């Protein structure tokens, strides 16, 4: 089953929160990068999902017979631009049984960075969400252990956000 | 632990007289929860990782890994330097398998470059280097694991062969640890004359030496008793925690990205049945114990030798670098590429908006998830087994912290 097959299957079973799919597409001839015309998109195909319904969606992906994505490989976020109103949540699933991947993307508005935690579905999400929370300031509601994982507990700001201001000093240590 | 006589009675008075006339002392052992700080500077953590352990007597009741001592903001740097400039930073996350890191990052960026054709020789040299580096990395895993649990000699044996491997890398790229050799579009330069022949000689010698490792450590009775039935990760737990690589295969899951989602030349090798995937079988104890993981790593080295030989038989002269401009502008897009690193799946998620600098470089290090299993694996184990369990995850802190 290719990506289209997975997407069709998700639509047929009416996976909760499924918003659509985004496939790589060729650039419009003559369009230059950075101009308003569509410059195309390379890379992987992914499904778009409502972040608030991510838990039932992942549940379907894991337990539905013809999907069986039993491993959560990666969960992270991306801040596309400082002025962009959304963060992207990028989730990558893997089916060991069927040797397949599924890329999931969810748009989370920066105004309200809250989404449910997927830890109950995949234990692997726990540490990834901790990292994601400290780096982007996302609150994962229902996370069992919402401590920092890589940064010190008293770190100010969310370093992987594009509007992050680098600190001048940390506990008397100059950072300049 | 304390063994104080209760009340005012002395130990002598508490003793019970057995029918044989002997006296048996009852030491009412009171144990309390004790917090043990393991690391950050401990040789068994292979870097700087702190594990806060709670122990009741000899039994661990809780474990909390604390990471971040080696956090170097690799992902943030990725958003601030040009595509090609980021390559040296990839060397630094899993510094024992830098070739594989270079390969992972290069492949992720190449996935965003439609129409880029890599010369066949570049693929060949990439594969040879990645597999040699896998051998070197597993040699460290195997050597230091022996060292962790008390076997000193295998460590020196492992380093002897690894030294040759590093000398080979020094000849091809000038560096011993941080290579930056595999780059976007191919490899940096061609192998020097005689290099491929020397790799062939290395394979021949290594094959003989490898048998010694198996006898010396893997099948050694003391080692087996120390690792079998210790730190058992059942299959379901391994999948739930997202373990990959030898940690997953040690639990009996037959999955290897090189075979199941082939990239580069591995698909071609499969047609020739060039290599096998080593899966733990629970030979010496329960499936998924520390011994199975070590078994997978050590036997995988031999499979890597097979892969290198396959490449050596087929490599032909030709260019080694595709048509790559000096300053890369990557077309817009986003891609996730995972490759089989010695420790598991190294994933790179790269996003570009068409500029000279990445929008996002996300690194999914296998050690990060492999360490997370300690939270659940250590409780219930004995303090004496903690080192054996931590060592069997083969953690590289540069990668957990990035």
Chain B residue closest in CA terms to A97: B255
Sheet holding B50-56, edge to edge: B33-38, B50-56, B59-66
pLDDT at B2 over 50: no
* DSSP assignment of B6-25: STT--HHHHPEEPTTS-EE-
Contact flag B332-A74 (C-beta cutoff 8 Å): no
Characterize B163-202 residue by residue with b for buried, 16 or more Cβ atoms within 10 angstroms of its Cβ, and e for exposed.
Answer: ebbbebbeebbeeeebbbbbbbbbbbebbeeeebeebeeb
Among the partner-chain residues A33, A103, A160, the one whose CB lies closest to the CB of B336 is A103
**Which residues, at least 6 apart from B342, have a Cβ–Cβ distance to it below 8 Å?**
B94, B96, B97, B100, B133, B134, B137, B138, B141, B245, B246, B297, B394
Return d(Cα A71, Cα B370) in angstroms, integer: 13
pLDDT at B84 over 70: yes
Return d(Cα B152, Cα B145) in angstroms, integer: 10
- Chain B residues within an 8 Å CB radius of A94: 338
A22 in contact with B at a CB cutoff of 8 Å?
no
DSSP designation for A112? S
A129 in contact with B at a CB cutoff of 8 Å?
no
**B228-286, pLDDT tens digit by residue?**
888 889 999 999 998 998 999 989 898 998 888 888 888 888 888 888 898 988 888 88
Q: How far is A139 from chain B (nearest CA, A)?
A: 20
Q: Which residue has the tokens 């991947």?
A: A101
pLDDT at B38 over 90: no
Q: Which helix (H) or strand (E) holds B107?
A: helix B98-110
pTM to 2 decimal places? 0.86
Sign of torsion, CA B155 B160 B165 B170?
positive
**B11-30, pLDDT tens digit by residue?**
666 677 777 777 766 556 66
pLDDT at B28: 61
Q: Which residue, among A35, A63, A71, A133, would best test binding to B if mutated, counting the most B CBs under 10 Å from its CB?
A: A71
- Chain A residues within an 8 Å CB radius of B354: 33-34, 39
**Which residues, at least 6 apart from B212, have a Cβ–Cβ distance to it below 8 Å?**
B157
Return d(Cα A46, Cα A25) in angstroms, integer: 12
* DSSP assignment of A84-100: -SEEEEEEEEEETTTTE
Reported ipTM: 0.87
The total of other beta-carbon atoms located within 10 Å of residue B108's CB is 27
A74 in contact with B at a CB cutoff of 8 Å?
yes
Return d(Cα B324, Cα B87) in angstroms, integer: 15
- What average pLDDT does the segment B382-386 reach? 86
Q: How far is A8 from chain B (nearest CA, A)?
A: 21
**A142-168, pLDDT tens digit by residue?**
999 888 888 888 888 898 888 888 888
Among the partner-chain residues A24, A72, A152, the one whose CB lies closest to the CB of B242 is A72
- Three-class SS state of B140: helix
Contact B110, B122 (CB under 8 A): no
Contact flag B241-A124 (C-beta cutoff 8 Å): yes
A27 in contact with B at a CB cutoff of 8 Å?
yes
**B189-236, pLDDT tens digit by residue?**
888 998 999 999 999 999 988 988 888 888 888 889 888 888 889 999
């Amino acid at each position: 089953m290719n990506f289209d097959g997975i997407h069709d299957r998700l639509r047929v079973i009416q996976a909760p929160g499924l918003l659509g799919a985004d496939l790589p597409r060729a650039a419009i001839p003559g369009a230059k990068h950075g101009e308003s015309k569509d410059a195309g998109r390379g890379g992987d195909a992914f499904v778009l999902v409502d972040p608030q319904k991510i838990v039932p969606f992942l549940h379907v992906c894991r337990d539905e017979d013809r999907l069986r994505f039993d491993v959560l490989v990666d969960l992270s976020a991306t801040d596309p631009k400082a002025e962009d109103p959304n963060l992207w949540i990028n989730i990558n699933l893997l089916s060991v049984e069927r040797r397949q991947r599924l890329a999931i993307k969810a748009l989370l508005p920066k105004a309200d960075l809250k989404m449910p935690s997927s830890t109950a579905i995949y234990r692997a999400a726990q540490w990834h969400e901790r990292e994601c929370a400290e780096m982007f300031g996302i609150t994962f509601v229902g996370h069992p252990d919402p401590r920092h994982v890589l940064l010190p507990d008293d770190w100010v700001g969310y370093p992987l956000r594009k509007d992050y201001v680098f600190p001048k000093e940390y506990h008397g240590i100059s950072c300049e | 632990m304390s063994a104080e006589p209760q009340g005012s009675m002395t130990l002598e008075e508490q003793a019970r007289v057995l029918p044989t006339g002997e006296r048996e002392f009852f030491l009412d052992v009171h144990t309390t929860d004790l917090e043990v700080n393991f690391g950050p500077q401990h040789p068994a953590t292979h870097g700087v990782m702190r594990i806060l352990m709670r122990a009741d007597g000899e039994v661990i009741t809780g474990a909390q890994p604390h990471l971040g001592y080696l956090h170097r903001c690799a992902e943030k740097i990725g958003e601030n330097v040009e595509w090609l400039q980021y390559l040296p930073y990839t060397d630094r996350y899993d510094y024992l398998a830098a070739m594989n890191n270079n390969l992972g990052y290069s492949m992720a960026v190449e996935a965003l470059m439609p129409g880029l054709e890599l010369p066949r020789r570049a693929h060949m040299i990439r594969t040879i280097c990645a597999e040699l580096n896998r051998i070197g990395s597993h040699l460290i895993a195997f050597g230091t694991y022996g060292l962790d649990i008390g076997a000193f000699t295998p460590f020196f044996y492992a380093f002897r062969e690894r030294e040759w491997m590093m000398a080979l890398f020094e000849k091809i790229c000038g560096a011993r640890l941080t290579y930056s050799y595999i780059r976007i579009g191919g490899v940096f330069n061609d192998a020097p004359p005689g290099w491929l022949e020397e790799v062939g000689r290395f394979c021949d010698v290594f094959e003989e030496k490898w048998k010694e490792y198996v006898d010396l450590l893997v099948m050694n009775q003391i080692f087996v008793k120390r690792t079998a039935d210790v730190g058992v990760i059942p299959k379901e737990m391994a999948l739930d925690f997202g373990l990959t690589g030898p940690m997953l295969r040690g639990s009996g899951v037959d999955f290897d990205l090189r075979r199941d989602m082939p990239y580069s030349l591995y698909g071609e090798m499969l047609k020739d049945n060039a290599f096998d995937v080593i899966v733990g079988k629970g030979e010496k104890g329960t499936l998924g114990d520390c011994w199975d993981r070590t078994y997978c790593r050590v036997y995988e080295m031999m499979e890597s030798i097979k892969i290198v030989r396959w490449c050596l038989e087929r490599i032909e002269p030709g260019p080694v670098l595709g048509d790559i401009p000096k300053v890369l502008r990557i077309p817009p897009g986003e891609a996730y590429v995972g490759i089989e690193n010695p420790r598991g799946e190294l994933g790179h998620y790269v996003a570009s908006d068409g500029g000279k600098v990445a929008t996002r470089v996300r690194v999914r290090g296998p050690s990060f998830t492999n360490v997370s299993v300690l939270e659940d694996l250590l409780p219930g184990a004995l303090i004496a087994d903690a080192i054996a369990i931590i060592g069997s995850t083969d953690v590289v802190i540069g990668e957990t912290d990035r």
